Amino acid sequence: MNKSKYEVTVTHHDYDLNEEVVDAEVSIHGFARAVSQEQFAQLLDDYANCFRDEYSHGKKIGEFLTHHHRTLQRSIIVELVGIIAGLSEQTYTDARNEYAVKLAKSIKALYEDIGAGMMV
């Protein structure tokens, strides 16, 4: 049976068997409805930790999203800016995230100055 592009197969590597083992097959929609904000934060953390070319990878995701529903595109932008705004509120930074937090603060300020009106 062919898996839909809207389904994800969740696997783990069994080191005793030295093979990938299927844990579950879930629809992306079902997963999105079930995941909590805290779990989504962990998902983003794990996703970012997969050593992708961050900006170009994210840009490609954005390009895929241009084919999605226009209202949902607005919702995605607002949600992402909200995530960025939350990250901007850190009180402690170091050399690893200092400029990311500065950028997040600038994006939050831009949203509050010009973007919030029709997007909230």
- What value does the mean pLDDT of the chain take? 91
pLDDT category, 18, cuts 50, 70, 90? very high
- Cα distance between residue 50 and residue 68, in whole Å: 25
Question: What are the beta bridge partners of residue 7?
Answer: 27
Q: What mean pLDDT is predicted for residues 101-105?
A: 97
Q: What mean pLDDT is predicted for residues 80-108?
A: 95
pLDDT category, 5, cuts 50, 70, 90? confident
Q: Which of 33, 49, 44 is nearest to 80 (CA)?
A: 44
Digit-coded pLDDT (tens) for 43-76: 999 998 987 788 999 999 999 999 999 999 999 9
**Phi, psi angles (nearest 5°) of residue 11:** -130, 165
Q: Is 12 left (phi over 0), alpha (psi -120 to 50) or beta?
A: beta
The pair of three-digit structure tokens given for residue 84, joined into one six-digit string: 């960025």
pLDDT > 80? residue 117: no
Residue with tokens 């070319």, as numbered in its chain: 53
User: At residue 22, what is the residue type?
Assistant: V
pLDDT number for residue 114: 85
